[in-house]
Every structure is written in structure tokens, then in C-alpha cells.
A and B are shown apart, each in its own frame.
Chain A
């Protein structure tokens, strides 16, 4: 038995340094080295799951009653990020467009990230932009929204501290206004000047046009942008700006009580 045992610590490959037959020659047998790990891993996970299931019961509340709406009604925790976005955007945007964009955006990642480095190992230095974006989206937006939804939302979807008792009669004055009616910009919402609909359109068009400006400014300086090409750059910029619209809107809401940026008879953003 001892003869067949491989040395599991790294050994230099037989090749000389110059040869370009990479570390792929450095392979170990799946049996026993991988199967063993999988086996131990499964046992540990199953033990934890069993103990957990013995000690903590799955919730079961009163029988379904369509006439009695609980306050608050919360979606399952993994969807609370979406429910939280409903605070800041209309349902068609927060509940349909953004989730679709998240799914499509995730699928597109491999096709727009053309940086060949950092394939198959952990590195931050070789792909700082990709990793920063992903961490921002994953932790700052997705996880923190879920945490807000799970722990900080009470009756009326108002914010409560986890240790505060929920007061279902708490009345929070709804002072949110649309951007076109907001003090400093109200003059622009005047139909004689821009009108309610145009000002939002102009602002959003301006917001997305920063991508073009950035492109033409940086095209000649930045290798990354030139290699990306206009199509991929456009997709990345669109997804990036759309993603950032969420924190921007959260900020506008919390700081200035602004409800919608763009108001039209058909939809609001």
C-alpha cells in the first residue's frame, strides 16, 4: 500500500523551467484524494443539517386566510432584496425589469470580461474592476438589502431597529415628492419650460450619456477600453449605470425625499 501512495505536497514538475508544458502534468488520483474529501465534507454537512433539523422546527403559522393580511407581509428572505427595491422603484421596474437585468447581466459576465488573467486562481490585483463590481453588487446591494428586509422592516414596511417593538399604528408622513415637483427643480417641471415628463427624460438621458463621454475621453488612453470595443463597452456601461441607479435612488429618497425621477402617464422611474 505504501508504494502507491502519492506525495500530496507540491512537487516540482519534471520539466525544466523554460518548457511550456504547464502545471497540468501535476495531477493526483481522484480515488482516494478527492473522493475522500467529498465523503468527509458530505458527512460533516449531513451532521450539521440533521442536528439543525432536530433542534429547529420549520415554521407553520395559522391556516391560510385570504381575508386577513398580515402586516408586514414579507416575501421569503432570499427575495427580500427584490421586495426592498420596491420601496425605491415602481413594481414594473423593481420587480420585473431589474431582476431580469440581474439574471441577464450575470449571464453576460463571461462575454464582456475579456481580461484573460485571473482564470482559475484567486487574485485581486490582476482584475480589480471585475472583482470590485462583483463585490459591490453581491455584498453591498444584494446582501445588505436582504438584511434590511429581514431585520429592519416592520409594519407598513417602515424601518425599525430589530430591538424596537413594532408599532402597527406608527404613521410616517409621506412627504416624498417627484423630482419635477421638488423645490430646487420645480421651475423646470413647469409645463411652459420643460414639463413634468421632459425633465426626467433629460436627466436620465444625461445620466446614460456619461458613458459616451467617458468612452470618447478614454478611448485613446485606456488599453482596456480599446480592447473592449464599443459593443462590449456599451453593455458594461449600461449594466453598470443601471446597477448604480439603485444606490442613487436610495440616496435621493433618504436625503431629499424624492420619489420618482421621471414621471410619465405610463410609467415612473
Chain B
């Protein structure tokens, strides 16, 4: 019986294999670098990296997993958008339609939901790891600031998405959440010093957020636009900055 190497050799040298792959991949240092440099996606990475940084123990892979969760929500979210209309009369019915009629609709919805929740958890864990390794210290201070903004946008994305199913859970959760805006000092109708500015329930921070005095159809449309257009673009731009800064700040942090 041929051993593994002989078998491999036979396959690789067969006419069929050769007709498909014109030459093999010599695993040289040069090629390893080229794999990264010549690939538009992989070249986010440097060609070489400090040895300790590839250890799961160091990064917990949490920044990467957060990014993966984001990509999952983008893909599943686009699919959901084909079936969902942000109109009070249709939104809930569209959810039912997605769940019961659309092929793979339920699992797309589930994946979108759970990936979003997962992203909230992993982004916290990522921040936790970055803090515990002290990686926010010079020269990475600014990337930490960018990270905090990313964390905030992640929460806002989750929160705006929460309203879209337009069920009891979502409108009341968003009601509770946005009620706080009513109490903003100066800008909220029930906040301190509201009289000084002269804001009213119809014309204050909360009404601006909701497009009205309660969580109604205009709020649904606003949250939809924020959730599907504004916040995803914003978070993508900031992720670009975040990843770029990791490289510019000298790669993953490590003991000097």
C-alpha cells in the first residue's frame, strides 16, 4: 500500500491534476509573504506578526469574531431587507411572512438576531481583553477611542433593529429606551431646565428621535433608515479606521 506521500505524489502528478493546476505552491518565505500582500482581503494583515499575537490566549480572537458577527448581520440583513417593509401596516405581517412562508426566512431572521446579540457580547469581551492587556496605552490611545465609538454604534445598531419587528416586545422596549431622551437636561421636555429652553413634548430631543410624541410609524421609518443605512455605513467607516490604525500603531501590542 502506498504511503501518504506517495499517494499525494501520484495524485499531484496525474494528468488530470496537472491539467487543472498548472504548477504547485512552493511553500517559501517569499510565497508566504505574497499570499498576504497580493490578496486584497488578506492584506489587511501585515505579512509577519509577533509570535505571541497569534495565540488565542492573547487576543481571544474577539476583535475578529466581532467583525465576523458584523459580516453575518450584513449578509442576513440584506436578505431580510428583500422581504421587509418599514411601514406600520406591513412590518409585522412581513415578519410573519418571513417566518412562515419565505424559504429559509426563519433561519435568516434567527441568524441576524443572534449574530447581533453575539456581536454585543463579543465587542464587550474584546474591550475587556484590550483593557486587560493594557493595549490602549501609547501609541494605541486613539484606537481605543475609535473602539469606544464602535461599541456605542454597535449598541445603537442593536437598539434600532429591535424596533423593526413591530411587535409588543419591540415598541415597548423602544418606548422605555427613548423615554430617557425626554429627560435630557435642556433638550428634553421633562429634563431639568426644559422651561429655560422652551422645549415641549412635541418639540424636544425625544420627538426629534421618534418623529412624533410616541413610538409610531414615523419612528419605525427613522429607525429603519438609521439601522439599515446610516449606522452600518458609519460603523464600516470606523472599522476601516480601526483596522488601519492597528497596523499603523505597530500591529498587535506586546511586551516591549
Contact = CB atoms under 8 A, between A and B. Distances in A.
Contact of A60 (B49, B68, B95, B177): B95
Nearest to B106: A57
Nearest to B152: A103
Given A107-B148, A110-B140, A27 B49 contact: yes
Contacts of A235: none
Contacts of A29: 29, 32-33, 47-49
A1 to B, nearest CB: 5
Contacts of B107: 53-54
Interface stretch (A92-100, A165-173, A186-194, A206-214): A92-100
Given A110-B136, A121-B134, A31 B172 contact: no
B193 A23 contact: no
A28 B46 CA distance: 11
A64 interface: yes
Interface residues of A, number: 82
B54 A34 contact: yes
B218 interface: no
A66 B171 contact: yes
A16 to B, nearest CB: 18
B168 A70 contact: yes
B235 interface: no
Nearest to B255: A121
A265 to B, nearest CB: 10
B170 interface: yes
B61 to A, nearest CB: 5
A203 interface: no
Q: Which of B99, B107, B112, B168 has the most CB of A within 10 A?
A: B168
Nearest to B159: A76
A118 B131 CA distance: 10
Interface in A123-141: 123, 127, 130-131, 134, 138
A75 B172 CA distance: 8
A37 B114 contact: no
Interface string B145-188: 10010011001001100100111111111011101111111001
Nearest to B53: A34
A134 B135 CA distance: 14
Contacts of B32: 4, 29-32
Interface in A67-98: 68-70, 73-76, 78-79, 82-83, 86, 90-92, 94-97
Q: Which of B88, B113, B170, B180 has the most CB of A within 10 A?
A: B180
Contact of B173 (A28, A74, A106): A74
B68 A45 contact: yes
Given A73-B173, A91-B179, A64 B51 contact: no
Given A27-B50, A118-B134, A120-B255, A69 B172 contact: yes
Given A73-B173, A92-B190, A110-B141, 5 more contacts: A24-B254, A33-B49, A73-B175, A86-B180, A91-B179
29 contacts: A23-B255, A24-B254, A27-B48, A29-B29, A30-B36, A31-B42, A35-B35, A37-B54, A45-B65, A45-B69, A46-B68, A53-B111, A56-B110, A56-B114, A58-B112, A61-B167, A75-B173, A92-B191, A96-B184, A96-B188, A107-B145, A113-B137, A115-B137, A118-B133, A119-B135, A120-B133, A120-B137, A131-B131, A266-B192
* A-B CB proximity, top 7 nearest: A95-B180, A91-B183, A120-B253, A110-B141, A53-B110, A267-B192, A58-B113
Interface of A: 1, 4-5, 8, 10, 22-24, 26-35, 37-38, 41-42, 45-46, 49-50, 52-54, 56-66, 68-70, 73-76, 78-79, 82-83, 86, 90-92, 94-97, 103, 106-107, 109-111, 113, 115-123, 127, 130-131, 134, 138, 266-267
